[in-house]
Amino acid sequence: MRERTLADRLLRWFARHRRDLPWRREPRDPYRVWLAEVMLQQTQVTTVVPYYERWLERFPTLEALAAAPLDAVLKLWEGLGYYARARNLHAAACAVVQTHGGRIPATVEGLLRLPGVGRYTAGAIASLAFNADAPALDGNVKRVLSRVHGLSAPKEDELWRLAESLLPPGRAGAFNEALMDLGATVCTPRAPQCPACPLRTLCVAQASGDPEAYPARLRKKSTPHHQVITAVIVDEGGRVLMGQRPPDGLLGGLWEFVSSELRTSSNSNGEDAFGSGSSAPLKRMIVTRTGLHIGRADIAPLGEVKHAFTHFRITRRAWLVRLATRCHATLQPKGYGRLLWASPAEVESLALTRSDQKIWQMYRNTTTGS
């Protein structure tokens, strides 16, 4: 009875307060639902909307996405972060076209067989696009369920079982979206709006007087800080040497200026490598990464860029290396998947990391005098 009351109240609230989002247009297009769910992972709605709209202008169908080169996909994703999402979405689109005739699987089981599709994404697509009775457990839903049921430290499987038990048959899609919207707009991590919540009289956390205590916050670990040295290498014709990161792993498939994490022993800011003004460490890094032996060159500091990832931070110290003569770069065992001498226009057409975009702007400022 409590489950039915909860679902009824939530769905009535949702009918009045549902967010008007572009991927919720009826009839639901499974490709658009899938795209939105992938983009929304770890990313706020306000950030996603313009990316979503630009994406559909370029890749309006699953077939268009599958036919596109990965470089073009990553370029369009540029700045959205968590680039594995774009790589997996592209790989899954190719798989759907090649093995499913372009038809996205309608079941959780079928969706889970696609590259990069996990339990949440499969449940979201199945329920929202195909009206399957499947739960979809994102961060907002976990928080709502934990508070309503007074779960201080719930286990993942426990929450999945709870979410499934609450599903109203035939209305799982609306119910899942209602939970997501409630968590995003009312049952927020900080300062939840309990008086506006349709579930307040059923909520254990609200009755406790301290809803923010549910679920209990995990103690944050110290964030590692990595130092990276970067060389913006420019030949006599103004071309810049770019390296493409390996397809797997962090920022896979993106292009960057020649870089490597700086290994230091005396401190964390790299002064042992550059405090004396010696360019030897920089030249060794360039050889290791590109096979490029720097002879005569004009080397000068370009600037510093800081960037935070989910689990660590980096500081990149960039140096401008202007070559006096043309040099030959070759792929190395500890180097890049591809190397490219790129014109300025070509650099701007490549999918770059956010910190590389900042470094590029610093370089452009030196060439324009601004």
Phi, psi of 46 (to 5 degrees): -60, -30
Distance CA(289)–CA(262), nearest Å, equals: 13
Find all residues with CB under 8 Å of 173, minimum gap 6, and list them.
Answer: 127, 128, 129, 131
Distance CA(292)–CA(172), nearest Å, equals: 58
Q: Give me the long-range contacts of 62-67 (CB less than 8 A, separation at least 24).
A: 62/31, 62/93, 62/96, 62/97, 62/102, 62/104, 63/97, 63/102, 65/89, 65/90, 65/93, 66/90, 66/93, 66/94, 66/96, 66/97, 66/98
Catalytic residue among 26, 37, 53, 158: 37
| 57 among known catalytic residues | no
Return the number of other C-beta atoms located less than 10 Å from residue 90's C-beta: 23
Distance CA(58)–CA(346), nearest Å, equals: 19
Active site residues: 37
